[in-house]
Structure 1
Amino acid sequence: MEYTLFTKLAAEFVGTAVLMVFGNGAVANAELKNTKGYHAGWLNIAMGYGFGVMFPVLMFGGVSGAHINPAMTLAQAVNGMFPWNEVLPYIIAQLLGAVAGQLIVYVTYLPHYKDTDDAEAILGTFCTTDAHNDRVNYFLNEFFGTFMLVLGALCCLSLPWGKANPAAASIVVGFIVWGLVTSMGGPTGPGLNPARDLMPRLLHAILPIPNKGDSRWGEAWIPVVAPIAGAIVGAFLFKVLFA
């Protein structure tokens, strides 16, 4: 069945919002004071992001492809795997979905934002930072993390076994994200998705959160540019070697 562009954009919007609710919601649960999951740890966060990708791919993979990530959309377009005329609408839907999802996290955790006085913990519920304060490391981590994500996701969803059983492939993609957060998430988070970082960072800058500190705009280009570059390379290798 071929869906209309509007339906595809709705899927990208809702799918990206779901990603934010599960992913950044897990961070908020672990990092903000007086939550039921306060100090739940890194595995809680990794699980949140894994499910945050798995569920939208299960929900909307057959509708829009469930890119839920501007880097994935651009990477496929650059490599001739996605029509250029749908790139901008997809990215706009993803950006707006990220705003909606982050606002849900903010509203549901509002009392805990008020209780928290750690600016780094608050910022971490919105966007990524580099744990070593090293921009080169920041770029490399986001580049290689997104490279692994895109290559792995395309292989799972596009190779014969994945096409024959898209539900199983979608679940495996969620486990790829879960594994990437546990293995490569230490330096930066990771973001692996420009929408997941840029739009929540913007909300962090404008929302009235006590003790929120700086939004660190000087480095905000890194989790936008590096995932796009990594995704393009990952999609290129998939197309050359396996498509």
Structure 2
Amino acid sequence: MEYFGEFIGTFVLMIFGAGVGASINLEYAYAKGSVKASWIMVALGWGLAVMLGVYTAAYFGAPGHLNPAVTIAFAAGGIISWKVVPGFILAQICGAFLGASVVALQFYPHFKETKVEQGNTVGIFATVPAIDNKKFNFISEVVATFTFILCLLTLGNFAEGLKPLVVGLLIVAIGFSLGSTTGYAINPARDFGPRLAYAVLPIPNKGSANWDYSWIPIVGPIIGGLLAILLIKII
């Protein structure tokens, strides 16, 4: 059941997270054009999305990682077995893909009304850097994920009690502070699964999936997570 928990938890995470992106960017969605509110909505929306995803995963007996960077870091630190890592990662990617697909269906009429130049871009589902400088984009993802997992490790079992709320607030804090440079993927599954969905689904008027950037929100978070667990082990 823990594999299903990681799947359904990441599914819930992406429905709420990508739903915020669609609401902000697509024509005739209620928040379209609300520039002052958009980043606040992004940070709060993704924080709540992560909180609800962790709670959902925990209900089905999963640890609530929802994130290959967390899974790999925890395995490297001996917190979980390496045996579950491939299954967790596959479940997380599939959950993220399906969640993005549901959002694409929910907002289909709005995609039909929105051209790329109006906001119908891969950024609704996956991350896009504010400035395309891959060296510094990579550093941004490493730093943001290092901070995220370092704080996450101090919580112990972060899927119990009110701790998922703390995890959600941690995501909000990262969004407010470090997230504006790259959109703070800090999660390879949350970026790759929805980017793939955007690329393969028949979404009207869509633009490029920006695959030449896609390695950064995969490799950067994994490196950041490993550095966090290394620091904890050294201390």
Residues 140 and 182 in structure 2, CA contact (< 8 A), matched pair in contact too: yes
Aligned pair partner of 1:66 in 59, 64, 67: 64
Q: Secondary structure at the match of 1:216?
A: coil
> What are the within-5 Å matches in structure 2 for residues 137-156 of structure 1?
137-156=136-155
- Is 1:87 the counterpart of 2:85 in the alignment? yes
CA separation of 1:181/1:74 partners in 2, compared to 1, >3 Å: closer, same or farther? same
For these two proteins, the number of residue pairs brought into alignment is: 230
Match of 2:192 in 1: 198
- 1:184 maps to 2:184: no
The normalised TM-score by structure 2 is: 0.92
Q: For 2:116 and 2:213, how far apart are their aligned partners in 1?
A: 20
Partner of 1:3: none
How far has the Cα of 1:56 moved from its partner?
2.2
Q: What SS is found at the alignment partner of 1:41?
A: helix
Q: Deviations over 1:9-40 (max 9, x none)?
A: 11000000111011111111111111012234
Aligned to 1:105: 103
CA contact under 8 A between 1:32 and 1:116: conserved in structure 2? yes
SS of 2:103's equivalent? helix
Contact 1:19 1:56 in 2 (8 A): yes
| Secondary structure class of the residue paired with 1:157 | coil
Q: Cα offset for 1:121?
A: 4.3
Q: Is the 8 A contact 1:116 1:122 kept in 2?
A: no
Measured in 1, the distance between the counterparts of 2:175 and 2:67 equals 16
| Alpha-carbon separation, structure 2, partners of 1:124 and 1:138 | 15
Q: Distance in 2 between matches of 1:59 and 1:130?
A: 30
Offset of residue 61 of structure 1 = 3.6
Once residues 57 and 210 of structure 1 are traced to their aligned partners in structure 2, the CA distance between those partners, rounded to angstroms, is 32
Q: Which amino acid aligns with 1:108?
A: Q
Specify the SS of the correspondent of 1:137.
helix
1:170-191 CA distance string (max 9 Å, x none): 2111100011112111111111
Per-residue deviation, 1:203: 1.4
Across the aligned residues of Structure 1 and Structure 2, the Cα RMSD in angstroms comes to 1.7
Instruction: Identify the match of residue 231 of structure 2 among 222, 237, 242.
Output: 237
Counterpart selection for 2:203 from 200, 206, 209: 209
User: Could you give the per-residue CA deviations for residues 112-134 of structure 1, whole angstroms, max 9, x where no partner exists?
Assistant: 11111135542111211111111
Tell me, in whole angstroms, the C-alpha distance in 2 between the residues paired with 1:17 and 1:203.
Answer: 13
Alpha-carbon offset, residue 45 of structure 1: 1.1
Q: Structure 2: how far apart are the matches of 1:237 and 1:110?
A: 45
Q: TM-score, normalised by structure 1?
A: 0.89
Q: Which amino acid aligns with 1:57?
A: V
Gaps spanning 5+ residues in structure 2: where?
A: none
Q: Aligned match of 1:173 in 159, 167, 171?
A: 167
The DSSP-based 3-state class of the residue aligned with 1:167 is coil
Alignment partner for residue 223 of structure 1, among 171, 192, 217? Answer: 217
Identity %: 37
Between the aligned partners of 1:109 and 1:227, the Cα distance in structure 2 is: 29
Unaligned ranges ≥5, structure 1 = 1-6
Query: Using the alignment, how far apart are the partners of 1:157 and 1:180 within structure 2?
Result: 19
Letter in 2 for 1:146: T
